[in-house]
Structure 1
């Protein structure tokens, strides 16, 4: 019987607040308010619009560009947490390179061609039927826990 691995880290309130504090210092704003209105994946424009609408800010273009950094910082913190999760829990790929798998978030089948250099515990998967010489090299990034045997 295989051992159940701890779940992959997700974005936390602490990650969001830390990112908001960095940006708030640059635009002389309240980090808690930025963190309250930020949702993972928001760009600076979306965050500025939320702050304008719900926190009654009057954001400038410079503020919007600074707010763009929040999502980048949150993503960087998440990547670090995932790297640590892999190291601490000795996360190993469940399928070898060359295995034919289904990427469950896409509900499509492909072949594992390698591991991502930039995303922890993530496969590079070549879509089934893709001819690299005709269409160029394209790979899906599928997290280990998002694939199953095809």
Structure 2
């Protein structure tokens, strides 16, 4: 996997692009919105940040609109990872059935690209940890 570029993550540019439709709905500035947004921040927390640090006068309905931002950023990141996956075709560094530091590899994730499904000792049989190929470490 050393020859494969790192898995993409949401960049400031991607976040700014995702902020534009939200800012348009709120009749606000996308750059200010992007400046105060942090990954996995919900609409309520973002509303508090914008009111406190940017002086925005927010209403209850604005929280729902701001909640959309996290979903848009996640979707943009998933699209970037999908492109990365298609371009570089990363191969799993371990096989199904191998033990890694995180647990026993029971499969390849069908939802998260280039990720293992890992059974963690002591957790219910129905529970699986999703571990990126690059984060899997030999036991």
Q: TM-score under structure 1 normalisation?
A: 0.87
Question: Which deviations, in whole Å up to 9, do the C-alpha atoms of 1:24-56 show, x marking residues without a partner?
Answer: 122221111111110111110111111001100
Indicate yes or no: 2:137 matched with 1:144: no
Aligned positions, number:
139
* Secondary structure of 1:62 counterpart: helix
Note the C-alpha offset of 1:131: 5.3
Question: Hey, what's the Cα distance between the residues in 2 that align with 1:111 and 1:147?
Answer: 11
Indicate yes or no: 2:35 matched with 1:43: no
| CA shift in 2, pair 1:45/1:115, >3 Å | same
After the TM superposition, which parts of structure 1 deviate over 3 Å for at least 4 consecutive aligned residues? none
Indicate yes or no: 2:45 matched with 1:56: no
Question: Hey, what's the Cα distance between the residues in 2 that align with 1:117 and 1:145?
Answer: 17
When the two chains are superposed, the root-mean-square deviation of aligned CA atoms in Å is 1.4
Mind listing any 5+ residue stretches in structure 2 that lack a counterpart?
none
Indicate yes or no: 2:113 matched with 1:124: no
Question: Hey, what's the Cα distance between the residues in 1 that align with 2:16 and 2:41?
Answer: 14
Note the C-alpha offset of 1:4: 2.8
Note the C-alpha offset of 1:77: 0.5
Greater relative contact order structure (CA < 8 Å, 6+ sep) = 2
Decide which moves more: 32-41 or 121-130.
121-130
Question: Hey, what's the Cα distance between the residues in 2 that align with 1:26 and 1:119?
Answer: 31
* Secondary structure of 2:137 counterpart: strand
Question: Hey, what's the Cα distance between the residues in 2 that align with 1:76 and 1:3?
Answer: 26
